[in-house]
A and B are shown apart, each in its own frame.
Chain A
């Protein structure tokens, strides 16, 4: 589903990704682990198309489509979802307004009919319930005044509503207590564990992987994948550290 080949990318003139290659098949969950500064967040921003993250070499295809040729909003409509490590606060714009605009903007780009207000609210209610996020929270401005855990739950509600085929989740486990971690983990499983979907989990720690079992684990260091293995690799990293394993 996602095929990254020899990806090189620079931020502010400095090369961060140095020939990263990775293939994620439909139905799979891959975890990317790695030390600070390895390029984990850069990878997620490059996939999302954040301004300032420049690809200098390599290709990235989502279901055969050249992802790097698309604008960020077009990537979303093509089925990519980016879960933020630090979800952005947008004062004055309610979650309901924001997500309805997002859902209908994606539908419009795909040539689908827009959701009516009622249809959208029904969908939002269902997904908020799944992540145990109070529907009233979605009437508030985007992420404003939300705790770290609430922001991450809200990210997952967004993912549920937007129904992507491929999700890149950047440190979704950071800032979560154990209860929130379980809810978010179950959310990822319910929303994204399907034969026609796939997930790339970017994480520091093993603990989220207790809830979302990865099929493949990669170690990212120095801007490239240095090791790939099964779920046992995450445990090995946890007990021995990155330096010993990679």
Chain B
């Protein structure tokens, strides 16, 4: 599999929404590079990642091994581009848990994606919440693959993706992929793409809230889902403010 990914093209399923032109020119060694991380059995760890606008096209790949009964939480804001890919390959040992909260946001021609593959051992659980906020002609993607092998009973895996397109011309893609061979499991996924609620916007305006402030409140509420699992309120607020900060730079 690593060989196939060594120089991917948009013909590969996992790269179908990528920037093909950039991929063709990209350094295959860098593309194939994974950061590796292991969580010892019973431990809890958290990772935070932010790809800022203007960092240039890049691919960040993280491979995490979560030991027996351990827990790994990963929170990511992907506001990068022109092409920014944040990829996680997670292997869960028995009873381990993986929590993902991801946000993509961007404008112009940016193409930001979050890609996951989660392999579950028996009684492993995972919960992934991704929110995309796009304007201009930008694209937000979530490709999530859930794997539950035959012996992995009593797995509970959930994925939820929602996108808000602030301008006509922006788009979002969801590609859930469930590969389930065990029979006693729960696996749920949902995806929805829409515009900001016009009724809510007018209601806010009728109370005196200017359109930019209303949009900020609504977008804040929307992306807050992705960070709801962040235990510390301050950290949660920081993440939200950071994400909203990129929205403020947009001229809508």
Residues of A near any B CB (own CB < 8 A): 48-51, 71-73, 75-77, 81-82, 84, 87-93, 97-99, 101-103, 105-106, 109, 141, 158, 162
Whether a CB of chain A sits under 8 angstroms from the CB of B40 is: no
Whether B209 is near chain A, meaning CB under 8 Å from some CB there, is: yes
Interface SS, B side: helix
Residues of B at the A interface (CB closer than 8 Å) are 197-200, 202-211, 213-214, 217-218, 220-222, 224-225
- Contact among A72, A81, A92, A99 with B205 in the assembled complex (CB-CB below 8 Å): A72
Residues of A near B217 (CB, < 8 A) are 93, 97-98, 101
Looking at the complex, which one of A51, A71, A92, A162 makes contact with B207 (CB distance below 8 Å)?
Answer: A162
Residue pair B203, A92 in contact (C-beta under 8 Å): no
Cβ contacts under 8 Å, B224 to chain A: 92
Please, which residues of chain A bring their CB within 8 A of the CB of B208?
73, 76-77, 102-103, 105-106, 109, 162
Residues on the B chain within 8 Å of A89, using CB: 200
Q: State in angstroms the CA–CA spacing of A73 and B211 once bound together.
A: 8
> A92 and B209 in contact (CB under 8 A), knowing A51-B202, A84-B203?
no
The 7 tightest CB contacts between A and B, nearest first, are A92-B221, A76-B208, A72-B205, A102-B207, A106-B208, A88-B203, A73-B205
Residue of A51, A76, A81 near B198 (CB, 8 A) is A51
**Residues of chain A contacted by B218 (CB below 8 angstroms):** 90, 93
Contact partner of A73 (CB less than 8 A), chosen from B197, B199, B200, B209, is B209
**Which residues from chain A contact B207 at a C-beta distance below 8 Å?**
73, 76, 98-99, 102, 158, 162
Q: Which residue of B lies closest to A87 (CB)?
A: B203
Minimum CB–CB distance from B229 to chain A (whole Å) comes to: 15
- In the complex, the answer to whether B221 meets A76 with C-beta atoms within 8 Å is no
A71 to B222, CA, bound (A): 25
A-B contacts counted at CB < 8 A amount to 80
How many Å from the CB of A7 to the closest CB on chain B? 19
Nearest Cβ distance between residue B235 and chain A, in whole angstroms? 18
- 9 sample A-B contacts, Cβ–Cβ < 8 Å, listed by A number: A50-B206, A73-B206, A73-B207, A73-B211, A76-B205, A77-B208, A92-B224, A98-B207, A105-B209
A109 to B207, CA, bound (A): 12
User: Residue of B at shortest CB range from A86?
Assistant: B199
**Residue of A75, A81, A105 with highest tally of chain B CB at under 10 A:** A105
Q: Beyond A76-B206, A92-B225, A158-B207, list 4 extra A-B contacts (CB 8 Å).
A: A73-B209, A76-B207, A84-B203, A102-B207
Residues of chain B within 8 A of A88, CB atoms compared:
197, 199-200, 202-203
A90's partner among B203, B205, B206 (CB-CB below 8 A) is B203
Of all chain B residues, which has the CB nearest A103?
B208
Among B211, B214, B222, B224, max chain A CB count under 10 A is at B214
Given the complex, which residues of B lie within 8 Å of A158, measured CB to CB? 207
Cβ contact within 8 Å between B203 and A102: no
Cβ–Cβ < 8 Å partners of A82 in chain B: 206
Beyond A90-B221, A92-B221, whether A50 also contacts B209 by CB under 8 A is: no
Distance between Cα atoms of A100 and B125 in the complex (Å): 40
Chain B residues whose C-beta falls within 8 Å of the C-beta of A92 in the assembled complex: 220-222, 224-225
A75 to B204, CA, bound (A): 12
Report the minimal beta-carbon distance from B228 to chain A, rounded to whole angstroms. 10
Which residues of B sit under 8 angstroms from A84, Cβ to Cβ? 203, 206
Please, how many angstroms separate the alpha-carbon atoms of A158 and B221 in the complex? 20
Q: How far is the CB of A51 from chain B (nearest CB, A)?
A: 7
**Contact of A98 with B205 in the complex, beta carbons under 8 Å:** no
Min CB distance, B5 to chain A, in Å?
37
Expressed in whole angstroms, the Cα–Cα distance for A242 and B27 within the complex equals 78
Contact residues in A for B209 (Cβ distance below 8 Å): 73, 98, 101-102, 105
B3 to chain A, nearest CB (A): 44
